[in-house]
Amino acid sequence: MAMVRTPLMFGRLPLGGRRLLFALALTGICLAFAFPVLWLILTSLRPESGVYYVHRGTEFTLASFAEVLQDDRLLQAFFNSALISTLATIFSLLVTVSSGYMLSRFRGPAAQTWFGTIYVFRCVPYISWVLPLYFVAQSWGIYDTYIGLLLPHIAVHICFFSWLMKGFFDGIDPSMEHAALIDGCTRWGAFIRVALPSAIPAISALAVLCWLFTWNEFLFALILTGNKVPVITVVMAQFVTEMGLRWNLMAATAVMALVPAFLLALFGQKYVIRGLRI
Amino acid sequence: MSIRRRTLAAVAAAAGLLIAGGANAQAVKELRIGYQPSPIQDNSIAMFETWGAKNGIKIVKVPNSYGVYVEKMTASLTSNSDQYDIIWHNDDWGQLWAHLLEPTDDIPGLQFASKWSMDKTVFGNAQGQNTVVPMGQTFSVFFYRNDLVQPNEVPKTLADVVNTSKKLQAANKAKWGYVGAMSMNNSWFSWFWSMWGNNCDVLMPFYERDNAKLAAAGWKSGLAEPCMKETTEYWWDAINTHKISPRGMPAYDRNEANAIFMSGDAAFTVADSLWWGTFNDPAKSKVVGKVSAARFPLGPNRQKNFAWDDIWGWAIPKSISPERKALAKQMLAAMMVDEEGQMKLWKATGAPPPNTQFWPKIAAQDPFMALLKEAVLDSPDKVRGAYYFPQWPAVHKAFNDAVTKAVTGKREDIGKVLAEGQPLVTKAATP
Amino acid sequence: MFGEQQRFMLFLIAPAALLLGLFQVVPIVIGANASFRDWALYNPKKTWVGLDHYKAVITDPAFLEVVLPNTFIFMILSVAGALALGLGLALLLNRPFRGQKIVQTVLMVPLMVAPVIAAIMMRWMFNDQFGIVNAVLEGLGLEGQPWLVERWSAFGIIVLTDVWLWTPWFTLLLLAGLQSLPKEPFEAAAIDGTSAWRVFSHLTLPMLQPVIVVCVVIRAIDAFRTFDIVWTLTGGGPGRSTELFSLYAYVLAFLNLDLGRGSAAAIVGGLIILVVGIGLYRLVDRVTKT
């Protein structure tokens, strides 16, 4: 891959000073971005009497993790969250890649209408439809089921991802597909065999982000699940009670939930940077 | 049709009925509890489970997240969804759900419940039937640090709180005097108790909870009354003039205020009585054994002590089948007289259990209960902690927005800001 | 009836349209229906009230004088902040250096944690008593501040949290965009000795324009309806001074359980951002092109 060196502002400084400044700036930025999460990790390691005054005292313990892990719902919740996130990612991408392709390759009223539709529904605030969604899920008998949690999680990504996918395909030269069509390839063939492979980097980038979104999603999970399909965010939310917050347990669960997200981001980031072009 | 065939048909029909009847009786092999995990509910459900084990009924626990509990449960109740046989009920939602719940008056054992808490204004439906079964009593109390303050020095008035706090701060014994939550939905821990202790209230007439009388008074708010201005100025001064409370306090929720008290940085707080156990738990608190409870300090307008006392409860949705209702009632009746289970509930939570008959026994063994019984449960001057009409959350928010704005603004603007808030509270309350 | 191309187009969007219809359009239509009715969640009478709820919302002084200005200020600050920071970081990362991979991973940290948890953590960090921010300030001999009690500092913390959450998005999208730019114009500029700022403003920015437009418009729409972090950080307080549009709708629908009024407020907000989004698209398009 070709790296473009963009000339930077401090190009005139001597090399050593430039390096030092650069390293300092980067360290500062990294610290600023990681700090809230580092602080969360530190919080989770403090005894319950020290989870608010994190900086006061040096006792550390794994007791909160041990307490959280006693709940057998937690493992189930991790499994469910991973399953729902993975399936939601796969299906969201499947349905939006074709929708984005359509938006990118066709002009005219049909494409305009579809783009208008996804734009309009992107603008509707969640607040206005989560409660009706609960009624819908109940009356269709999919409340507190995998399907009932999965399908809305796919639906919620349709507008955003179709839009991004359109951008991805806009960046891919359509002449190859035209050539394939002339060679007797079907439209489906041109889409799947010619255009799709070029979009794979973009799709893998989106996959990483979609998975992270679903993994960390609260509102739908809270509204659409009861006790049969516990997911990790709902388990976390249940540490909030009328009597107050069990912050140590919440922090420990959140830190555990961080691990898969971190691994995915670590191994997925090169795909993200490579692919996220619109 | 031949006689033989008719007989056969009759037999078949009878058999069908029998099977159907049998199936009906058999269908209720489990009861589904919609609840919110917390020590008091967990211990109450433990009694259900004891009963279930004896009677061969499976207790299915369906935990709900607190953040969306009322919304989801209300939606579930109005859509007749048949998800739960018993649900957690609370005085704040008493009137919100009364028309959606099964009357509970015919449950034996309810005569042992606290008369005050079972008042029809809170949980009664339009036909005057009650719709709740108590789970335990909850209320807040004034906590003080007994290592810093001798029992005879415990503040009796709001002014005492300031003076004692300043003395402690001057002697470097405490960083803060009073720390209590003040933000929306945490108003009880600073605003409400100090207001009630100064003969004041959210709506007028003060301490009135009969909706007819509140309506007759035009849902007028007490915000613009002198007593409310005094109360707001009291907190403004506590924070800015006397500096006995931290400047961030108007934004605190109960977690933050209790964290500060448990760290040992504050001498006084008000919290739910259920926090007694937490304050004295070495794993959670740094003030173990140093906490005592007392009556609320009073403002200049009031001489007589007061207490407030509400229940958490259970309720049965109207929409479930009669068989399920009957079984749920049986179970709740058993819970009401389960002495062993209720003793456990008290020990685990510090919440006085639902059956008042057990109270003297507990008080005889436990000085904390003796104090609660004398200062709160048997107090003749009780206040109800909420209002009992569906618009209460909106009223509560309008009230809290106004007092927060006043206490975080300039002192000379307090009267003006409260006067501006008054019509908004009335507007929110008017059906 | 349809030509081969129309059928193809239809098949391409059919699954997405179906899911969108079932799980977004249907609930939204139910909500829209409720907005014309007397529909309290606890007592759904469902009697038709016409535009009453809409009138109540658009004549509410709190909505016009507090909520809408707050929402727009928040949207502008949050999008501008994340864009500026994201662009800066993307430029910084768009050159090979040792540890680049680590920096990129660290920048993705805000995406890894649930926003609600991050917001709680932020709230505690800015607590005036036990928060680390004041602890550090006091350690440096400065006075700690009651951050969440004063309107503009509370607002600043909300914006800060939102920028923290969304900068990674901008960085990733812009970095990917930078890396796909053609090399030749930059090489030519280097030979001509063009200044760094000129290269940035005359080459980089115009070439990144399509990415920036999409980022800004999508993000602005999302910023307009930001809910969870604000609810967690300030709950709209102190008073109602940091209340945003989505909190206004939430309080009506979820706290007061007035589904009708809450839906009307949500739809009013949706319509506003719909129009604003189109305007913004044109504006950003024009600004970056010139």
Cβ–Cβ under 8 Å, residues C16 and A116: no
Q: For residue C251, what is the DSSP state?
A: I
Please name which of C20, C17, C39 lies closest in space to residue C28, comparing C-alpha atoms. Answer: C20
Average pLDDT over residues B281-292: 92
For chain A, the chains sharing at least 3 beta-carbon pairs closer than 8 angstroms are B, C
Mean pLDDT within C14-36: 92
Q: Which residues of B touch A247 (CB under 8 A)?
A: 255
Nearest to B37 among A47, A143, A238 (CB): A238
Whether C139 and C131 have beta carbons less than 8 Å apart is answered as no
Work out the number of other CB atoms within 10 angstroms of the CB of residue C212.
22
When pLDDT is averaged across residues A237-245 and rounded to a whole number, the result is 85
Q: Is A266 near chain B, with CB under 8 Å?
A: no
Min Cα distance C9 → chain B (Å) is: 39
User: Which residues have C-beta within 8 Å of that of residue C164, sequence separation ≥ 6?
Assistant: A33, A36, C110, C118
Residues in chain B closer than 8 A to C228 (CB atoms): none
Q: Are C214 and A163 in contact (CB under 8 A)?
A: yes
When pLDDT is averaged across residues A169-174 and rounded to a whole number, the result is 85
Same domain, yes or no: A38 and A93: no
Same-domain status, B273 and B286: yes
pLDDT band per the 50, 70, 90 thresholds, residue A277 = low
pLDDT band at B404 (very low <50, low <70, confident <90, very high): very high
CA C54 to the chain's CA centroid: 25
Q: Which residue has the tokens 């709190």?
A: C62
- CATH code where residue B364 lies: 3.40.190.10
The CATH number of residue A90's host domain is 1.10.3720.10
Q: Are residues B187 and B276 in the same domain?
A: yes
Q: Are B276 and B346 in contact (CB under 8 A)?
A: no
Residue A264 domain flag: yes
Task: Name residues whose C-beta falls within 8 Å of residue A64's C-beta, 6 or more positions apart in sequence.
Answer: A44, A45, A48, A51, A248, A249, A251, A252
d(CA A275, CA A205): 5
- Which of C12, C102, C181, C215 to mutate to probe the A interface, most A CBs <10 Å? C12
Q: How far apart are CA C187 and CA C216, in angstroms?
A: 29
Count how many pairs of residues, chain A against chain C, have C-beta atoms within 8 Å.
Answer: 299
Q: Is residue B165 part of a domain?
A: yes
Burial class (CB in 10 A: 0-12, 13-18, 19+), A140: middle
Of A6, A40, A61, the residue at which a domain comes to its end is A61
Q: Is the pLDDT of residue B343 over 90?
A: yes
**Do A211 and A95 lie in a common domain?**
yes
Taking CB atoms and an 8 Å cutoff, what residues of chain A touch B135? none
What tokens does A9 get? 């502002």
Nearest CB to C112; choose among A155, A265, A277: A265
The secondary structure of A31-69 as a DSSP string is HHHHHHHHHHHHHHHS-GGGSSSTTS-----SHHHHHHH
Q: Is C110 within the bounds of a domain?
A: no
Question: Is the pLDDT confidence value at B3 over 80?
Answer: no
Write the DSSP string, B147-209. Answer: TTS-GGGS--BHHHHHHHHHHHHHTTS-SEEE----STT-GGGTHHHHHHTTT--SBSSTT--
Q: What angle do CA C12, C13, C15 make, to 5 degrees?
A: 100
pLDDT digits (tens, 9 = 90+) for C249-266: 999 988 889 999 999 999
Mean of the pLDDT values across residues B158-168? 96
Contact B90 A242 (CB under 8 A): yes
Q: Is B153 exposed, middle or buried (0-12, 13-18, 19+ CB in 10 A)?
A: middle
Of C41, C241, C251, the CB nearest to B397: C251
**Which among A198, C84, A169, A241 is positioned nearest to B88, based on CA atoms?**
A241
Neighbours of chain B (3+ CB pairs under 8 A): A, C
Please indicate, yes or no, whether residues B51 and B193 belong to a single structural domain of this protein. no
Of B39, B63, B284, the CB nearest to A49: B284
The count of other CB atoms within 10 Å of the CB of residue B215 is 13
Contact B328, B107 (CB under 8 A): no
Q: Which chain B residues are Cβ-neighbours of C257 within 8 angstroms?
A: 70-71, 74, 96, 390, 393
Same domain, B105 and B121: yes
> Are B65 and B131 in the same domain?
yes
Q: Is residue B260 part of a domain?
A: yes
pLDDT at position A6, please? 44
Residue among B62, B65, B259 minimizing CB distance to A52: B259
Contact C266 A135 (CB under 8 A): no
- Return all residues near C47 (Cβ < 8 A) that are at least 6 apart: C37, C38
For residues C182 and A261, give the distance between their C-alpha atoms in angstroms, rounded to a whole number: 33
pLDDT tier, A7 (very low <50, low <70, confident <90, very high otherwise) = very low
The model's pTM: 0.90
Residues B240 and B347 in one domain: no
- Mutation site, A78, A90, A128, interface C, largest C CB count within 10 A: A128
CB C229 within 8 A of CB C162: yes
Task: Say whether both A33 and A89 belong to one domain.
Answer: no
* Structure-token match 């207001």, residue found: B195
pLDDT at C78 over 90: yes
Q: How much is the mean pLDDT over chain B?
A: 90
Q: What is the pLDDT of residue A14?
A: 65
Q: How would you class A133 by CB atoms within 10 Å of its CB: exposed for 0-12, middle for 13-18, buried for 19 or more?
A: buried
Alpha carbon C106 to its chain's center: 21
Residue B20 placed within a domain: no
Task: Classify residue A220: in a domain, yes or no.
Answer: yes
- Is A126 inside any structural domain? yes
H-assigned helices in chain A: 15-45, 63-69, 72-105, 109-123, 127-139, 146-170, 175-182, 187-189, 196-215, 219-224, 232-237, 247-275
Which of C7, C24, C243 is the mutation pick for testing A, counting most A CBs within 10 A? C24
Least confident of A19-23, B108-112, C35-39: A19-23
Full domain range(s) for residue B81: 27-138+310-377
Confirm whether A132 is domain-assigned.
yes
Q: Within an 8 Å CB–CB cutoff, is residue C146 touching chain B?
A: yes
Q: How confident is the model at residue A9 (pLDDT cuts 50, 70, 90)?
A: very low
**Is B273 within 8 Å of chain A by CB?**
no
Looking at beta carbons, which residues of chain C come within 8 Å of A25? Answer: 92
Mean pLDDT of A7-32: 75
Residue A37 domain boundaries:
15-61
A55 part of a folded domain? yes
Total domains in the fold of chain B: 2
The residue among B286, B275, B284, B251 whose CA lies nearest residue B141 is B275
How many domains does chain A fold into? 2
Co-location of B335 and B371 in the same domain: yes
**Test mutation, A41, A56, A123, chain C, max C CBs within 10 A:** A123
Mean pLDDT check: name the lowest of A64-68, B38-42, B63-67, B112-116: B63-67
Residue where the block lists tokens 């259920």: B274
B257 shares a domain with B362:
no
The β-bridge relationship of strands B86-90 and B30-35 is parallel
Same domain, residue pair A41 and A74: no
Give the tens place of pLDDT for each residue, B238-252. Answer: 999 999 999 999 999
Is residue B18 included in any domain, yes or no? no
Which positions 283-312 of B are in contact with A (Cβ < 8 Å)? 283-286
| Eight-state DSSP code of residue B129 | -
- A140, pLDDT greater than 50: yes
List B32's β-bridge partners, or say none: B60
- Nearest-CB residue to B248 (from C128, C240, C255): C128
Residue C244 belongs to some domain of the structure: yes
Q: Is 50 exceeded by the pLDDT of residue B232? A: yes
Tokens coding B186 = 């945490």
Q: Do C210 and A135 touch (CB under 8 A)?
A: no
Q: Is residue B144 domain-resident?
A: yes
Interface residue A27 vs chain B (CB under 8 A): no
Could you tell me how far CA C198 lies from the centroid of its own chain?
Answer: 30
Q: Is C44 helix (H, G, I), strand (E, B) or coil?
A: strand
DSSP string covering B274-292, please?
THHHHHT-TTT-S-TT-EE
- Of the pLDDT bands very low, low, confident and very high (cuts 50, 70, 90), residue A91 is very high
What per-residue confidence (pLDDT) applies to B201? Answer: 95
Which among B184, B248, B256 is the nearest to C235, CB-wise? B184
Q: Which two tokens stand for residue A231?
A: 């997911």
CB neighbourhood size of B211 (10 A): 16
**Per-residue confidence at C271, pLDDT binned at 50, 70, 90?**
very high
Q: Which residues, in sequence order, are bridge partners of residue B34? A: B62, B87
Q: Is the pLDDT of residue B26 over 60?
A: no
pLDDT at B403 over 50: yes
- Give a yes or no: residue A260 inside a domain: yes
Q: Closest Cα of chain A to C122: distance in Å?
A: 7
Domain count along chain C? 1
The total number of residues shown for chain B amounts to 431
How buried is B264 (Cβ within 10 angstroms: 0-12 exposed, 13-18 middle, 19+ buried)?
A: middle
Nearest CA in chain A to B73: A223
Task: Give the mean model confidence (pLDDT) for residues B18-22.
Answer: 40
Beta bridge partners of B138: B310
Regarding whether B115 and B33 lie in a shared domain, the answer is yes
Choose the closest CB to B65 out of A56, A237, A243: A237
pLDDT at position A240 = 87
B67 and B208 inside one domain: no
**Within-domain flag for A6:** no
Instruction: State which amino acid sits at residue A112.
Output: Q
pLDDT (average), residues B348-370: 92
Q: What is the CATH number of the domain that holds C69?
A: 1.10.3720.10
Q: Please state, rounded to an integer, the average pLDDT across all residues of chain C.
A: 90
What's chain C's length in residues? 290
Structure tokens at A23: 């390293």
Residue in chain C nearest B263 by alpha carbon: C130
Alpha-carbon distances, residue B130 vs A245, B104, B124, B209 (angstroms): 32, 6, 4, 16
Task: Identify the DSSP state of C23.
Answer: I
Of B14-28, B151-165, C256-270, where does mean pLDDT reach its minimum? B14-28
Residue closest to C70 by CA, chosen among C252, C213, C234: C234
Q: Which residues of chain B have a CB within 8 Å of the CB of C154? A: 251
The answer to whether position C122 is within a domain reads no
Does a structural domain hold residue C264?
A: yes
Predicted local confidence at residue A17, as pLDDT: 81
pLDDT tens column, C120-178: 999 999 999 999 999 999 999 999 899 999 999 999 999 999 999 999 988 888 888 88
d(CA C246, CA B88): 29
Q: Do B401 and C146 touch (CB under 8 A)?
A: no
The answer to whether the CB atoms of C176 and A171 lie below 8 A apart is: no
Q: Is the pLDDT of residue C59 over 70?
A: yes
Check whether residue A82 and residue A210 sit in a common domain: yes
For residue C243, tell me if it sits in a domain.
yes
In angstroms, the CA B266 to CA B260 distance is: 7
Does a structural domain hold residue A97? Answer: yes
Alpha-carbon span A180 to A196, nearest angstrom: 13
ipTM: 0.90
Upper half-sphere CA count for residue A12 (Cβ side, 13 Å): 4
Spatial CB neighbours of B302, under 8 Å, sequence gap ≥ 6:
B197, B198, B199
CA A99 to chain C, closest CA, distance in angstroms equals 5
| B146 and B68 part of one domain | no
A223 inside 8 A of chain B by CB: yes
| Residue B185 sits in the same domain as residue B323 | no
* Cα angle: C252, vertex C258, C261; to 5 degrees: 70
Note whether A22 and A120 are same-domain residues.
no
The parent domain of residue C174 ranges over 34-96+151-289
